[in-house]
Structure 1
């Protein structure tokens, strides 16, 4: 039996901690916040009893059957289909762009094959190898759809013109030539019936796991444990000695109303003139519940400051160079492995975070059993 320290009580820390605890090791998990589940934290609104996604909405979706079965061990899940709407030019459209969106936007009644040919005519085929977000969008959907649905929203979300962003951000352009408005393609989709915090609490519910909230990690603590798994900010572990990695953060303006405010869970605002990126109405994330009141969040994106919660890693040229320096430092550090979204400076969906947590725990145990050196990263950040 060994003693392991997990820094961060989000999905990474909880999953790795549970795997180690189940084979008999003692696990301590610390988190600087007053709750578990990290940015997936959910809680009941005291006035309306609506389940709030405190740090913004999270919808569970995956094609990974083992991950789906894993989360269902610790919480009952309810069916949930994410259907997103957006306002543009005085109308409400369906996202991702689908046959209904195309016909409504262009005032047509195209069939799937006709719509595909029509969009190909809109596309800027002179762009053979898109390098930027803007070029990627123009190449595949043309200027009109780009201006209406991508340009303003992206500029607000990332704080810079889409011509400054890499094409990889828009890896697979979400355009469908049918009327399917399910935002995700994945086989398994749903919501934990009692929220994500209850789900993570279930993962952490093991006699070999001790959770300490409102507790900051100090590097000197590492010597008290056989190994440390760090899911906090990679640059923060090294006291930002190479500088701060860039993130976008979110501000939320909460407001309440009676009845149904917007008729859907997520309404995007694609125009740059509207300062917020979207409004989320949280009762719609639990459609099996009934509430007289409603709670909405206006969501604003901005550059992350030293005291802000980091959400989206920027990963442009400057950040990648700095990240390389931190990776070199991490590889020189023994007894610590860096995991999760912040520890590897990558945007990760929940299912990928859980998959990587399961894999990291198994790789770690295998390394220990063979007497091998445990790597700083189980998944390479670059």
Structure 2
């Protein structure tokens, strides 16, 4: 078969590689001038720092197959994300842990004491939290919520946390020990030579052709047996039902001689600070040594038509619109929608790769059995 992949991020790369290894001819079109999507990395020519061009990405997973898969194409170096937060003129470690609690409240609590102390702070009258704010108040109480969640979330999402669903704060990270590793997954690391080199390795197959600076046009589909579309779901249908809501990021890049902040990620929880965080990119490659440093201030805002979409909002209005687009997609033959944009879901890298592997295998099974290939292997709703 001749298969067209739209977009050159992880979804298309992994699906394309699996299909190419199964003997199919794969063509990838990408409107940008590089592969790897928002995970794209490149060396800063002045400092030599490996820069995460669209913001930092840390690989973490409990999925052993996915972990072994990415290591086929790149050497991974150990990396643990240790985030700090500047709040009210002090620096704390995140996620909230025993050190954060003791420092914030000026105490020396042991784990059992801290657990009881936080439970006493919590709004225990909230039995079934429905909003982000209720979720935060229920599990950490008003002081910690206000310091570490309210301002940051308001800036990140552009609305009051009471307007956001509790699901955004799915698993409130509070630890009653001194573990400040931001993630709890078994496998964590960084590709030694960056994510773009990793994706290059996945795409390095004679059955795959990549065309950069080539926007997808609907007429292209006529030349292929099937299309895997990882672009915006609403964009495929020319926004006929309206534009799905996203947040986008603006980056204020600056350089510094030496070490600017001593860590990779510094959050700013105070609402009065306009940016959400500062990232210092040389700390994402701690095995390297650089005199200079490249930093980004991140500002979150509503995504416009010409902006890069980052975070799907998925509030009530977006879900109603999404349902209409899903209906359109399911009535469109020969196209499967994949990835973060194609399914309008926020996906970590490991989940993206897992779903891509599953989609490729599902596609091959459907073709083998003579069954029609679905528009979605993972339902957006």
Q: TM-score normalised by the shorter chain: which range applies?
A: over 0.9
Counterpart residue number, 1:305: 304
How far apart are the structure 2 equivalents of 1:83 and 1:129?
Answer: 31
How far the C-alpha of 1:223 sits from its partner, in A, is 1.0
Counterpart residue number, 2:340: 341
* Stretches of 4+ aligned residues off by more than 2 angstroms: none
Counterpart residue number, 1:191: 190
Counterpart residue number, 1:362: 361
Counterpart residue number, 2:292: 293
Counterpart residue number, 1:156: 155
How far the C-alpha of 1:302 sits from its partner, in A, is 0.2
Matched position secondary structure for 2:253: strand
Q: How many residues align?
A: 381
How far the C-alpha of 1:371 sits from its partner, in A, is 0.4
How far apart are the structure 1 equivalents of 2:340 and 2:333?
Answer: 21
How far apart are the structure 1 equivalents of 2:223 and 2:331?
Answer: 19
CA RMSD after TM alignment: 0.3
How far the C-alpha of 1:242 sits from its partner, in A, is 0.3
How do 1:307-322 residues align onto structure 2 when only pairs under 5 Å count?
Answer: 307-322=306-321
How far the C-alpha of 1:46 sits from its partner, in A, is 1.0
Matched position secondary structure for 1:255: strand
How do 1:251-330 residues align onto structure 2 when only pairs under 5 Å count?
Answer: 251-330=250-329
How far apart are the structure 1 equivalents of 2:123 and 2:320?
Answer: 32
Matched position secondary structure for 1:256: strand
How far apart are the structure 1 equivalents of 2:78 and 2:256?
Answer: 26
How far apart are the structure 2 equivalents of 1:47 and 1:151?
Answer: 38
User: Structure 1: which 5+ runs fail to align?
Assistant: none
Matched position secondary structure for 1:43: strand
How far apart are the structure 2 equivalents of 1:302 and 1:197?
Answer: 26
Counterpart residue number, 2:203: 204
How far the C-alpha of 1:220 sits from its partner, in A, is 1.1
How far apart are the structure 1 equivalents of 2:340 and 2:329?
Answer: 15
1:35-72 superposed Cα distances (whole Å, 9 cap, x missing partner): 00000000000110100000000000000000000000
Counterpart residue number, 2:220: 221
- Residue 248, structure 1, aligned to residue 244, structure 2: no
- Residue 7, structure 1, aligned to residue 6, structure 2: yes
How far apart are the structure 1 equivalents of 2:364 and 2:140?
Answer: 48
How far apart are the structure 1 equivalents of 2:286 and 2:258?
Answer: 13
How far the C-alpha of 1:139 sits from its partner, in A, is 0.5
Q: What is the TM-score of this pair, normalised by structure 1?
A: 1.00
How do 1:14-25 residues align onto structure 2 when only pairs under 5 Å count?
Answer: 14-25=13-24
1:287-326 superposed Cα distances (whole Å, 9 cap, x missing partner): 0000010000000000000000000000000000000000
How far the C-alpha of 1:340 sits from its partner, in A, is 0.2
Q: What is the TM-score of this pair, normalised by structure 2?
A: 1.00
Matched position secondary structure for 1:74: coil
How far the C-alpha of 1:245 sits from its partner, in A, is 0.1
User: Structure 2: which 5+ runs fail to align?
Assistant: none
How far apart are the structure 2 equivalents of 1:90 and 1:293?
Answer: 26
1:100-142 superposed Cα distances (whole Å, 9 cap, x missing partner): 0000000000000000000000000111111000000001100
- Residue 52, structure 1, aligned to residue 51, structure 2: yes
How far apart are the structure 2 equivalents of 1:89 and 1:309?
Answer: 32
Matched position secondary structure for 1:94: strand
1:215-261 superposed Cα distances (whole Å, 9 cap, x missing partner): 01011111110000000000000000000000000000000011100
How far the C-alpha of 1:183 sits from its partner, in A, is 0.3
How far apart are the structure 2 equivalents of 1:134 and 1:143?
Answer: 10
How far apart are the structure 2 equivalents of 1:161 and 1:361?
Answer: 40
Counterpart residue number, 1:116: 115
How far the C-alpha of 1:169 sits from its partner, in A, is 0.3
